[in-house]
Copies of this chain bind each other. A is one copy, B any other.
Amino acid sequence: MPLTRLRPIEHLSQVDKIELRLQEYLRNEEFNPGDPLPKEMEIAKALGVSRTAVREAISRFKMLGIIESRRNRGMVIKRPDVLRNIQRVMDPRLLDGDTMKDIFEMRLVVELGLAHILFRRKTPEFIEKLEGIARTEDVTTDRIDLLKLDVDFHSALYQMSGNETIIRFQRMLMPIFDFVDSVILQKPRINQPGKIATHWDLIEELKQGTPTGFMHKMESHLWYFFEKI
């Protein structure tokens, strides 16, 4: 009898419970950014707990960026920065292999799906930037430098999407990408069916090709990673 899943009894501390109560309070009361919150002591009284515990719970929301407080002004609801909080957690050391695999796969999904947006937002300036990176690659031999240039190239693509959230998504997951890259590149290279699309191929397609064509080239370009996962 394994008993692996016996009793995941949640031992919620007082502060945890307060956090939950505040969470549901914030949702139910339909707070909008700028709205004031009750005073710490009032909340403590209402919940029947000490101000210390309330402050510990509220401190958590301050980290998320949902609550802001100022001396003598009280506390107000703030617009949180969605991605800021993931970033704190994005440490390859703290994530398990499966999750990192999933995240890396998601990167591939996003880069493929990006094609249409890119064709919509491409400009001569961006193309020029990509070409600059590709030209530098042509005259670079150092392995580390090439890896860095590869990252630059893909980063530039994200930039071109013009979508701030996607850009930050990529920047945020960079540590994971780096980690997986370094692991994958240590493995022996395997045979590929047909030619792998290069950065120059991608640029060419972007300049006078189609979204679909670009996607195919990108698929070919990333094929190596697909197989490894």
Query: Is A57 among interface residues, defined by CB-CB distance under 8 A?
Result: yes
Q: Are A99 and B82 in contact (CB under 8 A)?
A: yes
Copies in the complex: 2
- List 18 other contacts, CB 8 Å, given A79-B96, A98-B164, A108-B113: A15-B59, A27-B91, A56-B59, A59-B59, A59-B60, A64-B89, A82-B99, A85-B85, A85-B89, A102-B164, A105-B166, A106-B163, A109-B116, A109-B166, A110-B113, A116-B219, A212-B212, A215-B215
Interface range on chain A (Cβ under 8 Å from partner):
35 or more
Tell me the bound Cα distance from A212 to B66 in angstroms.
42
Q: What are 25 A-to-B residue pairs whose CB atoms are below 8 Å?
A: A30-B93, A56-B56, A56-B59, A57-B59, A59-B60, A60-B60, A60-B62, A63-B63, A63-B64, A64-B88, A64-B89, A66-B94, A79-B94, A79-B95, A80-B94, A82-B89, A82-B95, A83-B86, A105-B117, A105-B163, A105-B165, A106-B110, A109-B116, A112-B115, A112-B116
Tell me the bound Cα distance from A200 to B52 in angstroms.
57
Q: Using Cβ atoms and an 8 Å threshold, which residues of chain B touch A161?
A: 109
- Residue on B with the closest CB to A80? B89
